[in-house]
Amino acid sequence: MPLSSFCTLEELTLPSHSANLTINDQDLVRAMKSWPKLKKLRLGDEATWVTPARPQITLDGFASLLLHCPDLRTLGIGMDATSYSVVTPEVPGGGVTNTKITTLSVGESLIDNPLAVAAFLSSVLPNLKNILYTKFEVVPHQTERRHEKWARAATYLRDVHMIKKQERVRLGIH
């Protein structure tokens, strides 16, 4: 019986210690539509991503996950966040938000622009306080290691939250 038949599933952990997990955005959306009651998901955030194996889930897939699983409270996911390389005036994720998730585990997820990713995450996860990431990397000689970029994204996230809070105070919105 495939997992998709468990429409009342609330918790799912699919560890991927060897990076053999190959789920793309379309696979993720198809699965998440079957599990709307999901509250806890761990999907490849423990993986070690090396070339050619890399996560296939993008931030667009991440937003779709939040749309189809509105009750998510705990989320760990390996993803490729490199597609968000600039901050734009468009609302990230098409306006999807989840206010229940306060900590996100990304493991060794791929990232290029920490500010763009922080802006995306602050929009779709407005109550996000912590980004957990892996500090060990198997790819030596990178100009800036992934964990350093995720650390910067976490710092930017706090800054963006503070700016939004200041703006709400300025506008009299509490």
Q: Note whether residue 2 is domain-resident.
A: no
Q: Which residue has the higher pLDDT, 87 or 128?
A: 128
Please tell me the predicted confidence (pLDDT) of residue 30: 93
Domain span at residue 48 reads 8-171
Please tell me the predicted confidence (pLDDT) of residue 74: 96
Please tell me the predicted confidence (pLDDT) of residue 4: 67
Q: Note whether residue 38 is domain-resident.
A: yes
Q: Which residue has the higher pLDDT, 17 or 79?
A: 79
- Estimate the crossing angle of helix 59-68 against helix 114-124, to 10 degrees: 10
Q: What is the mean pLDDT of residues 76-101?
A: 93
Q: Note whether residue 1 is domain-resident.
A: no
Please tell me the predicted confidence (pLDDT) of residue 14: 81
Q: Is the pLDDT of residue 109 over 50?
A: yes
Q: Is the pLDDT of residue 18 over 70?
A: no
**HSE of 155, CA atoms in CB hemisphere, 13 A:** 8
Q: Note whether residue 100 is domain-resident.
A: yes
Q: Note whether residue 150 is domain-resident.
A: yes
Please tell me the predicted confidence (pLDDT) of residue 36: 93
Please tell me the predicted confidence (pLDDT) of residue 57: 94
Model confidence pLDDT, tens digit, residues 20-55: 567 899 999 999 999 999 999 998 887 665 545 678
Q: Note whether residue 13 is domain-resident.
A: yes
Q: Note whether residue 159 is domain-resident.
A: yes
Please tell me the predicted confidence (pLDDT) of residue 154: 97
Q: What is the mean pLDDT of residues 75-86?
A: 92
For the chain, the domain total comes to 1
156: CATH: 3.80.10
Q: Note whether residue 68 is domain-resident.
A: yes
Please tell me the predicted confidence (pLDDT) of residue 150: 95
Tokens of 165: 């809070």
Model confidence pLDDT, tens digit, residues 113-167: 999 999 999 999 999 999 999 876 555 555 568 889 999 999 999 999 999 999 9
